[in-house]
Structure 1
Amino acid sequence: MASAQEGGPVRADTGAPPGSASGVREPDNASVLIVNDAGEYLLHLRDHRPGIWEPGAWSLLGSGREPGDRSLEETARRELREEAGLDLPVLEPLQVEHAARIDGSTVAIQVYVARWNGDPESVRLTEGVMLRWFSPEVMPRLRMSHSTLDLVRDHAARPPSGPRSAAAAAPRLPGASGQAPAPGTGQKAVPNVIGVHLHLENAQGEILLGLRHPDSAYAGNTWHFLAGHCEQESAVSCLVREALEEAGLVIAPADVEFVHAVHLVHTPGGRPRLQLVFRARRWEGTPELREPDKCLTWQWWRPDALPEPLVPYARAAIDGIRAGRLYTEMGWEAR
């Protein structure tokens, strides 16, 4: 199903103008198929509770038209902003899908397509559980409607050339630049998510770790480094910013040194992530909870008595640092 409609039955009549002389109305719902330059599609995991549309399933962002919406594109844009804080520059009409309502009738959904290369973990959702990128090959293993899966497959199979605009075109196999892959590699260029992590040791050699909030989209109720994702900034600048925002620690860039990298992929076909770990030789302040919606507590731990559960790649990084290694790979053997 192409809609991410909350709250049960889709609206049957919002006053949309007739779509033809036969009196068939235009679609009253809109959803957005979001694709990145790696050929992955953004899916929304819906709350698993009774009375909502497709509880506990992966779906597209979107919902029903409201009286103040002047067009279905405005409906789609409003829903993107309200549900995920996304404001995408181009929404291109793709096709109209038909889905079954709770009462057994059908509803028409205008599907738009858009391109975005952001990190879904940085999105603050107001509805649902999480957003994630998935390749079409992985989607049959997910709980999702057949119509949404068919929609993704159809879009992914379309050639990049044709009357559709670049925003609506199927993702090119090369990277974002559109250049051909390097000779002899046979591989496409895939953007990697860059994460930064603070390996902070006190005078007793203990390591600072935080217990993530149970509602966190990633690793809830699990211990982890102070960490964040790079925005339009250098990795060291990101580390300095996150340390201040999350724990009130003041770190000078000159006091930061690189100590380890973990290059990982969580699932086969998933988006690769390069996790950079830095040590701060000096800092000012005492760790405090600045973002209680993300972290429940900061504690110091001996490296030989780390807490459980601990994010696996954080443990791998700590082990690598203790062993004097600079690099670890995880998850690639399953590809």
Structure 2
Amino acid sequence: MSPAGFVVVPASYVYLLRDGVGGPEVLLQLRQNTGYMDGRWAAAAAGHVERGETAFDAARREALEELGVDELDLRFEFTMQRTRGDLPIDERVDFFFTCRTWRGDPRILEPEKCAELRWSPLDALPDPVVPHEASALASLGKGEAYLTFGFD
């Protein structure tokens, strides 16, 4: 494969966390009209890292654009390298962050892309969850710095 045909797409994910009655809860969104994994639950805030932007800055921007929250106390959790077969355009590097404190009340700011926001126990996620995010959520708190998904 020629170097010109290889593209890596970086993205940042923010999992807002809170203490629930039965343990930690995560804020998830139900995706709609995005063309990717619609009808599945995913991070309440996530998106591509833009040119000249750090993964941390992208996480902060996405949380503000999608949820209306800022002043996030972000904690970097891990990086995930993922692929889907041999499709070179679908090579991804994802940066996952958690956050327990922020300013503002999370709300849907992109209703065309988000059908619902829901706090869910980490040990009882709604079904279905975007597959690579289900793997990421299962890895929270395990101290792993690097994950892979889709490599067989």
- TM-score, with structure 1 as normaliser: 0.41
Looking at structure 2, the residues matched to 251 and 299 of structure 1 have their Cα atoms a distance apart, in angstroms, of: 21
Task: Identify the match of residue 290 of structure 1 among 97, 109, 116.
Answer: 109
Q: Flag the structure with more relative contact order, 1 or 2, with Cα contacts below 8 A and sequence separation at least 6.
A: 2
* Structure 2 counterpart of 1:273, from 89, 92, 103: 92
User: Aligned match of 1:227 in 46, 57, 64?
Assistant: 46
Distance 1:212 1:174 in 2: 33
Alignment of 1:129-208 (within 5 A): 173-174=2-3, 190-204=6-20, 205-208=24-27
Listed one character per residue, the Cα deviations across residues 125-157 of structure 1 (whole Å, up to 9, x for unaligned) are xxxxxxxxxxxxxxxxxxxxxxxxxxxxxxxxx
Contact preservation (8 Å) 2:18, 2:100: no
2:36 paired residue number: 218
* RMSD across aligned positions (CA): 1.7
Structure 1 partner of 2:151: 332
Q: Separation in 1 of the partners of 2:151 and 2:120? A: 29
For residues 174 and 211 of structure 1, what CA distance do their matches in structure 2 show? Answer: 36
Contact 1:212 1:220 survives alignment (8 Å): yes
User: Structure 1: 5+ residue runs without aligned partners?
Assistant: 1-38, 40-172, 177-189
Q: 2:68 aligns with which of 245, 248, 263?
A: 248
Q: Secondary structure at the match of 1:224?
A: strand
Name the aligned partner's letter for residue 134 of structure 2.
Answer: R
Deviation at 1:175, TM superposition (A): 5.1
| Structure 2 gap ranges (5+) | none
* Cα shift readout 1:35-61 (whole Å, capped 9, x = no counterpart): xxxx7xxxxxxxxxxxxxxxxxxxxxx
- Once the two structures are superposed, what CA deviation does each residue of 1:165-197 show, in whole Å capped at 9, x if it has no partner? xxxxxxxx2359xxxxxxxxxxxxx33100100
State the secondary structure of the residue aligned to 1:242: helix
Aligned to 1:300: 119
Instruction: Specify the alignment match of 2:75 in structure 1.
Output: 257
Aligned-partner SS, 2:61: helix
Larger Rg computed on CA atoms: 1
Per-residue deviation, 1:327: 2.1
Pick closer, same or farther for the CA change 1:303–1:251 going to 2, 3 Å: same
Match of 1:239 in 2: 59
Amino acid at match of 1:326: A
Q: For residues 207-239 of structure 1, give each alpha carbon's deviation from its aligned partner in whole angstroms, at most 9, with x where no partner exists.
A: 1100001x2210101100121001121111111
How far off is 1:282 after superposition? 1.7
CA distance in structure 2 between the partners assigned to 1:174 and 1:268 by the alignment: 15
Q: Would you tell me which structure has more strand in proportion to its own residues?
A: 2
Match of residue 323 from structure 1: 142
Q: How does 1:54-73 map onto structure 2 within 5 Å? A: none
Deviation at 1:331, TM superposition (A): 1.3
The 3-state SS of whatever aligns with 1:323 is: coil
**TM-score of the superposition, structure 2-length normalised?**
0.88
Determine if contact 1:230/1:238 at 8 Å carries over to the other structure.
yes
State how many pairs are aligned: 146
Q: Which runs of 4+ in 1 moved over 4 A?
A: none
Shift of 1:269: 2.8
**CA offset at residue 199 of structure 1?**
1.6
